[in-house]
Amino acid sequence: MFSNFNRRSSPKESAEKPFWISYADLMTASMTLFLVVMAVEIVSLETKFSTKELQVRAEVIQTCYEELILQAKNSYPIVNIEYKPVDTINIDLGGIVNFPKRDFHITPEGIDFLREYIPAVVKSIKSEACSRYIRRIIVEGYTDTDGNYLPNLQLSQRRSSEVVCSLSNEVRPNKPLDVDDLNAIRDLFLIGGFSFNSYKPSKAENRRVVLKLEFWQVNEKENFMSEVKNKVDLSNKDFGKCPQY
């Protein structure tokens, strides 16, 4: 007669079994390691190319700034151009577009200057360097600290609006601006009022207007354009003129 009995594993066998890895476990571990390595490599490549694009963008905007500086130095020394890497270029239009207290009207000399200088800026932003990342130009008006916030906010907006209004060919019909320049101004220029939020020591210096050039971030323009494929066509809109107050 034979009796059934459970064969006990020897202590040696019990100690060795936990160290044996099945083929499936080995493949799973290998695949996990492969995915980790690939993820690290992808992140590394993205960082590398992103950093390179950011560097290229900074260099291009720097070149645009240098072109504007050279243009101002040669022909318009009255303007003051400031570059805030790597986001904006600010063009202070200088004392010729400075306003009397509580007033938003531009002198005839100021109008003539604007009608000459702003088309020159438009020409510059069409260059290879500036046009690559230029997004828009905000005309920022300011006031001094006299008066209250809301009245000064409205006044600062009127000042920036008058700068754009002075470019209408209705203002100087005998010296009209080029249609392409007017279209570029229509498409790129926005106005903003900042009351007395950006203060300078002299009250007269505060009654001024600044052109603020803003630039697209890396890949931002492409993403924006893909989202506005069906945007309204404004190419048939005339530049027009501002109402007189």
- Spatial separation of the C-alpha atoms in residues 85 and 57, rounded to whole Å: 10
- The angle at the Cα of 211, spanning 73 to 181, to the nearest 5 degrees, equals 85
pLDDT at 202: 83
Q: Cis ω on the peptide bond leading into residue 56 (within 30° of 0)?
A: no
Rounded to 10 deg, the angle between the 23-75 and 108-125 helix axes is 140
The structure's pTM equals: 0.75
> What band does 50 get if pLDDT is binned at 50, 70 and 90?
low
| Average pLDDT score over residue span 119-144 | 93
Nearest in space to 140 (alpha carbons), one of 164, 123, 124: 164
H/E segment holding residue 83: strand 80-84
Q: How far apart are CA 14 and CA 69, in angstroms?
A: 82
Residue ranges of alpha helices (H) inside 76-206 are: 108-125, 128-133, 149-165, 179-188, 203-206
Q: How many CB atoms lie within 10 A of CB 71?
A: 17
Q: Report which residue type is found at 13.
A: E
Q: What is the pLDDT of residue 2?
A: 47
Q: What is the mean pLDDT of the chain?
A: 83
The two counts, helices (H) then strands (E), for the chain are 8, 5
- Proportion of the chain above pLDDT 90, given as a percent: 53
On the question of pLDDT at 45 being above 60, the answer is no
Q: CA-to-CA distance for 69 and 114, rounded, in angstroms?
A: 17
Residue 44: what pLDDT? Answer: 58
Give the pLDDT confidence score for residue 122 in this predicted structure: 95
Q: Tell me which residue of 30, 81, 34 sits closest to 211, measured CA to CA.
A: 81
Residues 107-129, mean pLDDT to the nearest whole number: 94
Token code pair at residue 121: 């800026």
Q: Tell me how far apart the alpha carbons of residues 54 and 46 are, in angstroms, rounded to a whole number.
A: 12
d(CA 91, CA 72): 10
What are the chain's domains? 35-227 (3.30.1330.60)
Indicate whether 42 pLDDT > 50. yes
Q: How confident is the model at residue 41 (pLDDT cuts 50, 70, 90)?
A: low
Please compute the mean of the pLDDT values over residues 63-83 and round it to a whole number.
Answer: 94
Collapsing DSSP to helix, strand or coil, 36 comes out as helix
Q: Write the pLDDT tens digit of every residue in 141-190.
A: 999 888 899 999 999 999 999 999 999 999 999 989 999 999 999 999 99
Residue 40: per-residue pLDDT? 67
Q: pLDDT band at 103, cuts 50/70/90?
A: very high
Q: What is the pLDDT of residue 153?
A: 92
| Mean pLDDT on 215-221 | 85
DSSP 139: E
pLDDT higher than threshold 50 for residue 68 = yes
Better-predicted residue by pLDDT, 110 or 43: 110
SS3 177: coil
Spatial separation of the C-alpha atoms in residues 131 and 200, rounded to whole Å: 31
Mean pLDDT, range 24-28, rounded to an integer: 70
